[in-house]
Amino acid sequence: MATEQRLSWVDMAKGLSIFLVVMYHSTLGVGGALGEPGFMHYVLAFATPFRMPEFFLISGLFLSHVISRPWPKFADRRVVHYLYFYVIWALIQIVVKEGIGNTDPATALSYLAWAIIQPYGVLWFIYLLAVFGAVSKLLWTFRVPHAPVWIAAAVLQMLPVATGSYAVDQFSEYFVYFFTGYVAAPMIFRLADMVRNAPKLALVGLIVWACIEAALVFSPGFHLFPDHIQMGLAELPGVRLTLAIAGAIAVCVVAALLTRVPAFEPLRWLGAHSIVVYLSFVIPMAITRTLLIRFNLITDPGFLSLAVIAVSVAAPVALYGLVQWTGWGRFLFERPAWAHIPGTPGSLNPPLERVKRVPAE
């Protein structure tokens, strides 16, 4: 039962995570298309310090359970797994957006070539999960202590790294959060247990955190642009890192509290199937935004953002349901046997110890 509760709040946190990711791209996309921000920009501004950091921190929580596995098994689960979905969906998005949408096959081929070393579009976080897993395993293999790794990662985050390589720049920005989830997992799980036992105290802590977060985000220097947000003091190096980790932990606390409320069970289900939305929300998001603006169905940028968010979450869930019902297209969300490293669980030639032996009669 304890294990089920633990997985439940993690899935709830993943559900919150996917909502924040979709909110970011939908809101800024609408703002850029209309040329003006809406009320959802303020919601997004509040979440800006922790929106992506909490995604990576949560992704690192269970790394300690698999990092000691032999390289083939680890790589199959933590590297090849993400790269498979990255390749499949990068191909789909590039063909749809560049090949069909812009009717430019040459440009589409160029994007396909660059996608190998330069993560494509919003799929960059799937790409980086594979990189983060491989780097963490290398560090574990060479027995590099956690403290200097975390300090180096924190310094990288605070430095204005701008190499021109999106993969390098985003690695520098976000690896510290993935590694924090890995090394701080025992403390975070204990905190989640405490939250379930003392919900009122947790709510007080969340209110204090939210006040500090809002004060630093909306402090002097804050400004809303249609397609991006400039925070106030929260932009300062060190401050942003601190707010990011605090906000990521706050998301975990909120998730633990929400597991007590049956009405939020759909959010937990969404978190358990979060990769479905992560991979496929971009195309319905772009189509919905374009149609609503073209036919002038919703003019307020805030409500338009909400409509785009709703469709961007619902459409992938509907697609997943259709795939499960028909059995067609399972490769979109489930890795087939040929996409596993040979000899690992799920591969065409699984390890012998997983084959049930029937004694001879």
pLDDT tens profile 146-178: 999 999 999 999 999 999 999 999 999 999 999
The pLDDT value given to residue 355: 45
Q: What is the predicted pLDDT for the residue at 136?
A: 98
| Structural domain contains residue 246 | yes
Q: Tell me if 230 sits within 8 A of 221, measured CB to CB.
A: yes
Residue 355 lies in a domain: no
d(CA 73, CA 266): 32
Q: Cβ(59)–Cβ(128) under 8 Å?
A: no
Would you give the distance in Å from CA 15 to the centre of its chain? 10
Q: Is the residue at 361 inside a domain?
A: no
Going by C-alpha positions, the residue among 74, 62, 64, 56 that lies closest to residue 176 is 56
Query: Is 147 contained in some domain?
Result: yes
Beta strands, E only, the chain? 223-224, 229-230
d(Cα 269, Cα 15) in Å, to the nearest integer? Answer: 8
How high is the pLDDT of residue 352?
A: 56
DSSP SS3 for 230: strand
Let me know if residue 226 belongs to a domain.
yes
Pull the structure tokens for residue 279.
Answer: 């991979």
List beta partners, residue 230. 223
Is residue 350, in this structure, part of any structural domain at all? Answer: no
Percent helix, percent strand, percent coil in the chain, to nearest 5: 75, 0, 25
Backbone angles phi, psi at 223, to 5 degrees: -155, 140
3-class secondary structure, 354: helix
Nearest-5° angle of CA 310, CA 167, CA 176? Answer: 80
Whether 300 is covered by a domain: the verdict is yes
d(CA 77, CA 276): 17
Number of structural domains found in the chain? 1
Q: Which domain range does residue 23 map to?
A: 2-342
Q: What is the average pLDDT value for the chain, to the nearest integer? A: 92
CB 27 within 8 A of CB 40: yes
pLDDT at 98: 74
pLDDT in the model for residue 215: 98
Q: Are the beta carbons of 130 and 83 closer than 8 angstroms?
A: yes
Spell out, as residue ranges, where the chain has pLDDT lower than 70: 1-6, 99-104, 352-361
Report field, pTM of the whole predicted structure over 0.85: yes
In-domain check, residue 188: yes
In whole angstroms, give the CA distance from residue 292 to residue 284: 12
